[in-house]
Amino acid sequence: MNDELNLLSNPLFFASARVWRCYLGGKLLDEFLGAAEGADSNFPEDWLASVTLADNGEMQQSPSEGLSCIRGTDLHFADLLRRYPSEAFGTNRVAGTAVLCKFLDSAIRLPIQCHPDREFARHHFGSEYGKSESWLILATREINGEKPYILLGFKPGITSERFRCAVMEQDIATMTACLHKLPVEPGEVYFIPGRIPHAIGPGLLLLEVQEPTDLVIQPERQIGRITLTEKQMWAGLDHDTAFSCFDYRGHTQDEIMAWLKLSPRTKKQWANAKIESVIGAAHTDCFSVDKLTIYGDFEIPCDTPWHIAVVTSGHGSISAADEQPVRRGDSFFVSNRVRKLHYRPAGSEPLELFLISNTAR
């Protein structure tokens, strides 16, 4: 037990947790994680610092699919948190981290979908969490000559009756035309509240930060070569209830961009580093995301009880009780026992990390 507790004195790195999904992707993710040549498959997501089970029904790969293990061990992160909640979280005790992070790489357009907000999730799924989410776009590729894009939010004038009619007829052209089609580039950030219709287009590698559930309503019957079951489409809900989850308030494209496309704001600048607020209390009370960029040796106090870090650029080392290597693609948990961290970038590329918590910073 003492060995387990001592793990929390250092950043806690995670093994890869690739998760089966009903869509193809993963080539960019493979290459981002260091593979010489990636390939698309039905494992296009890597769940990071996860205490959330994947919900894959008959395609479930294992009883613990989606749960993160501490790198180099068979110990699930969720088990460690249950045993040592105060050491992990300090006075900010929660059931797990109350957030889920993923790398996600789509080779096809994902189905139009929406996720419940907390009120809907509580009432219809018995869950204290909905699935508001955010997309931090890391890389893109053109697939079959199509530039990368997302679908986001209903256009003005779209009614529940019009959308439902298109869904029941599986008129995909009409369904997609109900939403704004927005071109996207690496470095952009989007926030998607629960109940807002959306779809990720082909050719996007992103870091997704979301509430810790796998609840989704996706009314397209076909995803690539896979035909969805009724449960996969409607999350076990009847049609009337499922359709009521969508937010039918229409917005112009300018309104959607002003509302849901986010611009980082510099919080603090040092000689060798800077920290920017990406997602904060002005956007949501579900989670927060800061971006830390480090250009040289730098020691930073851990001024929140805990956080999850995801490295998206560079390599080097990180020190708390001990020194450990760190590189692009790594994710780690910094517990309440760690009060300062020393970063040492290697080479000419700065270290870039996203710092994630369930509280506003």
pLDDT tens-digit series, residues 82-112: 999 999 998 755 557 899 999 999 999 999 9
pLDDT at 92: 57
In this structure, which topology does domain 2-262 adopt according to CATH? Jelly Rolls (2.60.120)
Sequence letter at residue 128: E
CA angle (310, 315, 320) in 5-degree steps: 70
Block means of pLDDT (10 residues each) for the chain, 361 residues, are 86 96 94 94 96 84 92 94 92 73 97 97 96 98 95 97 98 98 98 98 97 94 91 95 97 98 96 96 93 97 92 98 96 96 95 87 36
Structure tokens at 198: 């959306």
pLDDT at 106: 96
- The DSSP secondary structure of 62-119, one letter per residue, reads STTTT--BBTTSS-BHHHHHHH-HHHHHTT---STTS-EEEEEEESSPPPPBB---HH
pLDDT at 185: 97
Domain 265-357 has CATH 3.40.50.460: no
pLDDT at 360: 44
Domain ranges of the chain: 2-262, 265-357
Tens-digit pLDDT profile for residues 34-74: 998 999 999 999 999 999 888 887 788 898 999 999 999 99
Which of 114, 130, 111 is closest to 246 using CA atoms?
114
> How high is the mean pLDDT of the chain?
94
- The DSSP secondary structure of 116-146, one letter per residue, reads --HHHHHHHH--S----EEEEEEEE--BTTB
Structure tokens at 169: 């007829």
CATH fold match for the domains 2-262 and 265-357: yes
User: Residue 308: beta bridge partners?
Assistant: 333, 356
- The DSSP secondary structure of 154-198, one letter per residue, reads EPTT--HHHHHHHHHTT-HHHHHHTEEEEE--TT-EEEE-TT--E
